[in-house]
Amino acid sequence: MKEKIKFMYFIGIDQHKRYSQIAVIDREGNLLEKRKIYHYDKQELFNYFCSFPANKTKVVLEATSCWYWLADLLEKAKLKTILAHPYKTRIIAESKIKTDSIDAYLLAQLNRVNLIPESFLAPKGTRLLREELRYRISLVKIRTSLKNKIHSMLEKEGIDTPKFSDLFGKRGLKWLKSLELDKPLSQVLKGYLSLIERINSLVEKIDNSIKAKTKDSYEAQLLKTIPGIGFFTAHLILCEVGDIERFPTARKFSSYIGIVPSVHQSGGINFTGKITKQGNKYLRWALIEAAQKAVIKDGYLKVFYEKISFKKGKQKAKVAVANKLAHIIWAVLKYKEAYKPRIFKPQASPAMFSGPYYLRAR
């Protein structure tokens, strides 16, 4: 009710790559204006938003792939801005009449009655840190692809690789460079190895930057006490999560990541399915990767993994451990305490595996 009295104008923005469709309504829901503004003249767009009173206007835009610059522009115009969750605003996509102007109008109406399902609008500084982390992730994926191409090439030529712990370590690289291949293949191999060395250099540079940031962060040091979480994963968690107070419970946090099972209800009976995967894909990837290391380092998580693995298979067990890690992360950040491993007891009852696992009993 206070929102209706406070704001005079409610703006819905349906953003596209080259233009935005804008709808403006008043506090009674009357359409005041709708217009299409192209993005090539950002000054015109800025001047338009500046024409609205800063403390009387509330703007909503969807969390699409290109919202960053527009959110920065609205912040510069000093307008109250919220970010709409695209999956939860399907009422727009499922409308019988689908036009850009109607999308913007419906966003404005949902904005007016406070029914916008919000996404976290991260500050610009946090978004820049996220881009650095995502850049590193993309580099590692490219490097992995190049390594796979080299493996494939060796297999095609029937070349058996020595039993190195890492084919692309010092000994492995020395062996690869010493291979005598036909000229075209030799050039291909040399090119792949050159690219891998360049990527290694770039990744090392980013890692040094991330290490310096985590060293100065108290929360990052707390996260590193959790098994399977190193400096990179700790930094990624902090950048992607923002303020942990956004999540009232550990389950809400797991749901945000998208590692909770989907639930289907029919006739009063609940059916659980695969994980939703509707959430932060970077956190989901990081925790599933961390889960593989955590089961080696932590006795409790190892037994939990083996129990689930025996019943449902290794892949589901790995995801279940990732979910446990999400609960632990939530508790560590919530209570600002280091992770305290449980004392593993081989004869512990199966009850120890049920329920959410946070820190040790307080």
Residue with tokens 């969390």: 63
- pLDDT category of residue 13 using cuts at 50, 70 and 90: very high
Q: Which of 97-101, 183-187, 234-238, 280-284 has the highest mean pLDDT?
A: 234-238
Residue 260 domain-assigned (yes or no):
yes
Judge if 112 and 165 occupy the same domain. Answer: no
Number of domains making up the chain:
3
Range of weakest confidence among 139-148, 157-166, 201-210, 271-280: 271-280
Q: How does pLDDT run across 63-95, given as a tens digit for each residue? A: 887 889 999 999 999 999 999 887 666 655 465
Residue 343 gets which letter from DSSP?
A: -
Judge if 240 and 316 occupy the same domain. Answer: yes
Residue 226 domain-assigned (yes or no):
no
Judge if 167 and 191 occupy the same domain. Answer: yes
Helix (H) or strand (E) holding 139: helix 124-156
Q: Does the pLDDT value for residue 100 go beyond 70?
A: no
- pLDDT category of residue 113 using cuts at 50, 70 and 90: confident
Residue 196: what pLDDT?
Answer: 95
Give the domain CATH number at 8. Answer: 3.30.420.140
Containing structural domain, residue 198: 124-216
- pLDDT category of residue 345 using cuts at 50, 70 and 90: low
Pick the closest to residue 247 from 126, 332, 338, 359 (CA basis): 332
Residue 135 domain-assigned (yes or no):
yes
290 class by beta-carbon count within 10 Å (0-12 exposed, 13-18 middle, 19+ buried): buried
Judge if 237 and 348 occupy the same domain. Answer: yes
Q: How far apart are the C-alpha atoms of 235 and 223, rounded to whole Å?
A: 9
Judge if 257 and 335 occupy the same domain. Answer: yes
Q: Does the pLDDT value for residue 350 go beyond 60?
A: no
Judge if 6 and 110 occupy the same domain. Answer: yes
Question: Residues 6 or more apart from 120 whose CB is under 8 A from it?
Answer: 83, 242, 246
Residue 358 domain-assigned (yes or no):
no
Judge if 104 and 154 occupy the same domain. Answer: no
Q: How far apart are the C-alpha atoms of 160 and 332, rounded to whole Å?
A: 47
Taking the CA atoms of 218, 135, 68 and 75 in sequence, report the sign of the dihedral they define.
positive
Phi, psi for residue 65 in degrees, rounded to 5? -75, -10
Judge if 136 and 207 occupy the same domain. Answer: yes
Residue with tokens 């190892």: 302
Q: Please report, rounded to a whole number, the percentage of residues in the chain having pLDDT higher than 90.
A: 46
Q: How does pLDDT run across 236-251, given as a tens digit for each residue? A: 999 999 889 999 999 9
Residue 224 domain-assigned (yes or no):
no
Q: Which of 70, 100, 119 is the last residue of a domain?
A: 119
Judge if 237 and 296 occupy the same domain. Answer: yes
Residue 67 domain-assigned (yes or no):
yes
Q: How does pLDDT run across 147-179, given as a tens digit for each residue? A: 999 999 999 988 888 887 888 988 889 999 988
Q: Does the pLDDT value for residue 349 go beyond 90?
A: no
Residue 236: what pLDDT?
Answer: 93
Residue 140 domain-assigned (yes or no):
yes
Residue 90: what pLDDT?
Answer: 64
Judge if 57 and 145 occupy the same domain. Answer: no
Q: How far apart are the C-alpha atoms of 179 and 167, rounded to whole Å?
A: 13
The mean per-residue pLDDT over the stretch 259-279 comes to 55
Range of weakest confidence among 37-51, 224-238, 268-282, 312-326: 268-282
Residue 223 domain-assigned (yes or no):
no
pTM here is 0.77
Ramachandran area for residue 262 (φ above 0: left; ψ -120 to 50: alpha; else beta): beta
Q: Which of 216, 242, 261 is the last residue of a domain?
A: 216
Range of weakest confidence among 168-182, 227-241, 326-340: 168-182
Q: Does the pLDDT value for residue 271 go beyond 80?
A: no
Q: Does the pLDDT value for residue 343 go beyond 70?
A: no
Q: Which of 216, 248, 281 is the last residue of a domain?
A: 216
Judge if 168 and 260 occupy the same domain. Answer: no
Structure tokens at 310: 């025996």
Judge if 91 and 135 occupy the same domain. Answer: no
